[in-house]
A and B are shown apart, each in its own frame.
Chain A
Amino acid sequence: MTHTVLTFIARVKPEKTEDLRKLLKLIQDDPEKNSCVPFRSLQLLHFASFVLHESQEYGPYLVFENNFDGLLQAYLDDLYLHASRGLHQVYSCCQDYTVTSAGDRQRLFAYLHAHVVRPNAYHIGNTGRSVKRILDEQTLRDALETRADALAQSVPPPSPSGLLGAFQNFVRSDPQFAWVSGVGPRQTFIEWFMPWVKFVAVILLVIVLLPIWLLPGIIGLLVLRFKESTDPVQSSAAKIQNVKDLVDREDRTPSVQNHMASITIVKPGWLRRLTLRVVLWAINLLARAKATHGELSGIPSIHFAHWSVIDNGRRLLFLSNFDGSWENYLDDFIDKASSGLTAVWSNTLNFPRTQFLLWGGARDGSRFKAVARDSQTVTNAWYSAYWDLTVQGIDNNSSIREDVLNPLDATATKAWLLRL
């Protein structure tokens, strides 16, 4: 099972900005069932967002983020089925949208295809889990927990194997759980193996080509080092009105999932643009192979995140759907992934002082947080298919489901019972 992570990015007609803002507000007021884009009807969709971002230089942009199961066309078909009129309304506020009726399926698709931006790098927390599987496994877990409440009362207390047997009978006897034994693995062997092949092949290639890139690489690094020591850094606290607008929308879901949309300006010059692209490419390579077990560089709380270089390399868009508070997310970034994120964002304006791309930077905690807040832009509408689940909770639910009907030895039985 694969996921697709992408955005549609369109320029908004300046005179239509306020209309669009109102429309997005209508979506945000009821993301699941609004009349415009009723996200709950989209059965392949994990997370989606609309971000209306305005800047002096580039004017208003609309970023429509989509993280879904399978490939684009099937998702678009579903999207069209449930939201053709809403999409038509939204994109009627955008430039070069010439479709005259929501019924014009082909031209609407052509418009969306023309505005697809695929990320330079992305991360998926729960590799291989479809929306349906995530929701089904949560239903199963809830039922098992309720059953466990009753079993915990039994006198005398049952043995571990007796308990497991009772849970297995419970699952087998209820037809609504007939699906439990038929779910495929999180990743097939090929899905797991190919990114590693690619990773190793690239490393080999890099070593083989060492004579070619070494000298330019060293010169580039020295130039970069010089730039690092002179680039201006953030000098003031985060702008308070922006922070107020952002926190007003934060921490509203039961388990405190949050969304972050950030647009930063890439530092001038081709060296920075090149460095940024190379770093993102390397992160993507590594993430495909290594970050398949719920963590990105030790951060256990990211459902979907992606980086896209936009505007011909002049701006960097980052979108993230994560568990927990903003403070916690940023602290995780600083404590666990500061090298990686410093390598990315030090190529954008105002980032804290770095040394050799990887060092310094985000470790200057309060300055980094101020830069992060200033570059963050309001998410106008946001949808999650499972507000109350964390990346780790989804993973635990999968583990519960995967083993519930298996014959387990004494140690594995104990371990399984502890997952409840």
Chain B
Amino acid sequence: MELERKDIQGLIVSSYKHLPCAAYLLLQVKDATAARAWLARSVGDFTTAETKHPHFSTNVAFTYNGLKKLGLNQEVLATFSFPFQEGMATEHRSRILGDGNENAPSNWEWGGAQDNLVDLLLLVYARDESVLKAQLEHWQQELRGSSGGFGEPRILHAQRQPKNNPEHFGFHDGIGQPVMEGTGNKQRQLARTHHATELPAGEFLLGHANLYGATSDTPVVRPEDDPQQLLTTVPDSATALGARPGMHDLGRNGTYLVFRQLAQDVAKFWNFLDKATCDPKGKSNPSARDHLGAKFVGRRKSGAPLVLSPQQDDPRLDNENNFSYIDKDPQGFACPIGAHIRRSNPRDSLGPDPQAALNTANRHRILRRGRSYGPRLTDPLVDDGKERGLHFICLNSDIERQFEFVQQTWINNPVFGGLYEEVDPLVGNLAKGDALFTVQGEPLRARVHNLSRFVIVKGGSYFFLPSIRTLGYLANL
């Protein structure tokens, strides 16, 4: 299948690894006319999937609020997916995403309440710090004041991406990713990780065939609302529920982007592990500490999966992703059932038939595009009082079936995979400070008690990352 690369924003096919610096601008629309004018003169500046720019890239996404402020009418807004319309910060979503207590939207710095809602997200990537600075200056100039139509941006800086991408807890991250059909990323992924799960474009692009063989649901406008024919027409052959033949396709080649700012308390994490593994006299045992940390994650610090390195770290496996659970580790003796990577992608492990389980799991994959922020902690056991964490960003065509499902049915599910009363030890809803983590073993499992939150949600929103055509349409509203 040939993708319409000119029409697709670059972030969908690339995580811009060649551009290690990044910042995210969160903006509110103050003047819709000026904002549309800004969009009209900027459309050509957004990076598409066709060209790889060696110095910088920019992409843009909107919340439901943002689209509304730009002037999209209610009839059209109602054709977007339900979670996108509602937003991330509803009571029900807080329950399923684990956003209770200190993670509650009312405590968020952005996206959680009426007074800090976000309309537009600008994602800026650059080759180095000076290019990033220049780009940010350029965009801020463009966006500001009466000519741009936006308020003062909230700027979220990402940390310069080090090689091998360790997140703040110290583990090599971003190894396993599904591959979208038509991107040509399969070979690269295979070469890097020895494994690639290629999924139909409709899993990550609206208006294309998904894993059910149906066109993923897509927002539309009436033909008379698109007199200049800026959008493509939904073909008569389209039979899926979301497809409305004859209507003009606003979603095609766009996708939904989930953004969550997750602060990581690195010192709390490592001190907890230290205390849990020290000897009876209270003396630290660094190798036991690292080992338990790896059990929480499911990979060792180098990235080596526990399934393939059950005894000790093996840096040769730092990008290894070619493994499954049922043949090598059905009981969780190497990688615990509740470990973070086993929960966030259970592969073939749920259910009696491994192939069927894998097929089911693949309906719930996301493309991860997040980056760490904040300075690295020099001594992981000593807090420096600074905030650091992950700007979690993922792309999917069906927020309920993909992102929210992973979060609810896998990450935060106390009975995941036959467990009884525990959630993901890294990012799960560990609200009460008395949470459990089970390390399966022979002859008897061990249980770690009294986990509390190591990760705090600071903000978040659901965005729509439109196609280039749709950006043109929005600019012309």
- Residues in A lying within 8 Å of B, measured CB to CB: 145, 148-149, 151-152, 157-160, 163, 234-238, 240, 243, 247-248, 250-252, 254-256, 298, 300, 323-325, 327-328, 331, 335-336, 363-367, 370, 388, 390, 392-393, 396, 414, 417-418, 420
Given contacts A237-B242, A328-B405, A366-B242, contact A414 B91 (CB under 8 A): no
B359, A237: Cβ atoms under 8 Å? no
Given contacts A366-B242, A388-B421, 20 further A-B pairs with CB under 8 A are A237-B217, A237-B241, A254-B414, A256-B414, A256-B415, A324-B409, A324-B413, A324-B415, A325-B408, A325-B409, A327-B401, A327-B408, A327-B409, A336-B356, A366-B214, A366-B241, A370-B241, A388-B414, A393-B418, A420-B445
- Residues in B lying within 8 Å of A, measured CB to CB: 78-79, 82, 85, 91-92, 95-96, 212, 214, 217, 240-242, 331, 351-352, 356, 359-360, 363, 398, 400-401, 404-405, 408-409, 413-415, 418, 420-421, 440, 442-447, 449
Residues on B with C-beta less than 8 A from A158 are 443
Residue of B95, B409, B444 near A152 (CB, 8 A) is B444
How far apart are the CA atoms of A250 and B214 in the complex, in Å?
28
Residues on B with C-beta less than 8 A from A336 are 356
B92, A250: Cβ atoms under 8 Å? yes
A/B interface sample: 29 pairs, CB < 8 A: A148-B444, A148-B447, A152-B445, A152-B446, A157-B444, A158-B443, A163-B444, A236-B241, A238-B82, A240-B82, A251-B408, A254-B414, A254-B421, A256-B414, A298-B351, A323-B415, A324-B413, A325-B408, A327-B400, A327-B405, A328-B409, A335-B359, A365-B214, A366-B214, A366-B217, A366-B242, A366-B398, A393-B415, A420-B445
Given contacts A251-B95, A328-B405, A335-B360, contact A414 B400 (CB under 8 A): no
B240, A366: Cβ atoms under 8 Å? yes
How far apart are the CA atoms of A331 and B78 in the complex, in Å?
25
B443, A163: Cβ atoms under 8 Å? yes
Residues on B with C-beta less than 8 A from A251 are 92, 95-96, 408
B91, A148: Cβ atoms under 8 Å? no
Q: How far is the CB of A306 from chain B (nearest CB, A)?
A: 23
A325, B443: Cβ atoms under 8 Å? no
A152, B447: Cβ atoms under 8 Å? yes
Residue of A248, A365, A414 near B442 (CB, 8 A) is A414
Residues on B with C-beta less than 8 A from A363 are 212
Q: Which residue of B lies closest to A155 (CB)?
A: B280
Q: How far is the CB of B357 from chain A (nearest CB, A)?
A: 10
Q: How far is the CB of A281 from chain B (nearest CB, A)?
A: 28
How far apart are the CA atoms of A24 and B389 in the complex, in Å?
46
Q: How far is the CB of B176 from chain A (nearest CB, A)?
A: 21
B414, A367: Cβ atoms under 8 Å? no
Q: How far is the CB of B147 from chain A (nearest CB, A)?
A: 38
Residues on B with C-beta less than 8 A from A324 are 409, 413, 415
B92, A417: Cβ atoms under 8 Å? no
A335, B414: Cβ atoms under 8 Å? no
Residues on A with C-beta less than 8 A from B85 are 240
Residues on B with C-beta less than 8 A from A255 are 413-415, 421
How far apart are the CA atoms of A90 and B383 in the complex, in Å?
59
Q: How far is the CB of B211 from chain A (nearest CB, A)?
A: 9
How far apart are the CA atoms of A323 and B414 in the complex, in Å?
11
How far apart are the CA atoms of A217 and B88 in the complex, in Å?
52
Residues on B with C-beta less than 8 A from A325 are 96, 405, 408-409
How far apart are the CA atoms of A370 and B82 in the complex, in Å?
12
Residues on B with C-beta less than 8 A from A420 are 444-445
Residues on B with C-beta less than 8 A from A236 are 241
A392, B446: Cβ atoms under 8 Å? no
Closest 9 CB pairs of A and B: A367-B241, A160-B443, A365-B212, A247-B92, A328-B409, A390-B415, A366-B241, A255-B415, A152-B446
Q: Which residue of A lies closest to B409 (CB)?
A: A328
Residues on A with C-beta less than 8 A from B78 are 240
How far apart are the CA atoms of A145 and B422 in the complex, in Å?
14
How far apart are the CA atoms of A237 and B82 in the complex, in Å?
10
Q: How far is the CB of B446 from chain A (nearest CB, A)?
A: 5
Q: How far is the CB of A298 from chain B (nearest CB, A)?
A: 8
Residues on A with C-beta less than 8 A from B240 are 364, 366-367
Residues on B with C-beta less than 8 A from A396 are 418
Q: Which residue of A lies closest to B242 (CB)?
A: A366
Residues on A with C-beta less than 8 A from B363 are 331
A392, B408: Cβ atoms under 8 Å? no
Residues on A with C-beta less than 8 A from B92 are 247-248, 250-251
Q: How far is the CB of A336 from chain B (nearest CB, A)?
A: 8
Q: Which residue of A lies closest to B363 (CB)?
A: A331
How far apart are the CA atoms of A235 and B245 in the complex, in Å?
11
Residues on B with C-beta less than 8 A from A151 are 444
Residues on B with C-beta less than 8 A from A235 are 241
Q: How far is the CB of B342 from chain A (nearest CB, A)?
A: 17
Given contacts A152-B444, A234-B241, A325-B405, contact A243 B82 (CB under 8 A): yes
How far apart are the CA atoms of A163 and B360 in the complex, in Å?
38
Which has the most chain A C-beta neighbours within 10 Å: B92, B242, B420, B440?
A: B420
A414, B443: Cβ atoms under 8 Å? yes
How far apart are the CA atoms of A56 and B420 in the complex, in Å?
44
Residues on A with C-beta less than 8 A from B449 are 149
Residues on B with C-beta less than 8 A from A392 are 415, 418
Q: How far is the CB of A43 from chain B (nearest CB, A)?
A: 24
Residues on B with C-beta less than 8 A from A335 are 356, 359-360
How far apart are the CA atoms of A363 and B91 in the complex, in Å?
31
Q: How far is the CB of A212 from chain B (nearest CB, A)?
A: 39
How far apart are the CA atoms of A240 and B79 in the complex, in Å?
11
Residues on B with C-beta less than 8 A from A149 are 447, 449
How far apart are the CA atoms of A390 and B409 in the complex, in Å?
14
Q: How far is the CB of B239 from chain A (nearest CB, A)?
A: 8
Residues on A with C-beta less than 8 A from B447 are 145, 148-149, 152
Q: Which residue of B lies closest to A323 (CB)?
A: B415
Q: How far is the CB of A314 from chain B (nearest CB, A)?
A: 26
How far apart are the CA atoms of A414 and B443 in the complex, in Å?
6
How far apart are the CA atoms of A335 and B360 in the complex, in Å?
7
Residues on B with C-beta less than 8 A from A238 are 82
Residues on A with C-beta less than 8 A from B359 are 335
How far apart are the CA atoms of A255 and B356 in the complex, in Å?
24
A248, B443: Cβ atoms under 8 Å? no
How far apart are the CA atoms of A159 and B442 in the complex, in Å?
10
Q: Which residue of A lies closest to B216 (CB)?
A: A366
Residues on A with C-beta less than 8 A from B96 are 251, 325
Residues on A with C-beta less than 8 A from B398 are 366
Q: Which residue of A lies closest to B92 (CB)?
A: A247
Q: Which residue of A lies closest to B91 (CB)?
A: A248
A331, B418: Cβ atoms under 8 Å? no
Q: How far is the CB of A24 from chain B (nearest CB, A)?
A: 20
How far apart are the CA atoms of A406 and B363 in the complex, in Å?
43
How far apart are the CA atoms of A163 and B444 in the complex, in Å?
8
Q: How far is the CB of B416 from chain A (nearest CB, A)?
A: 9
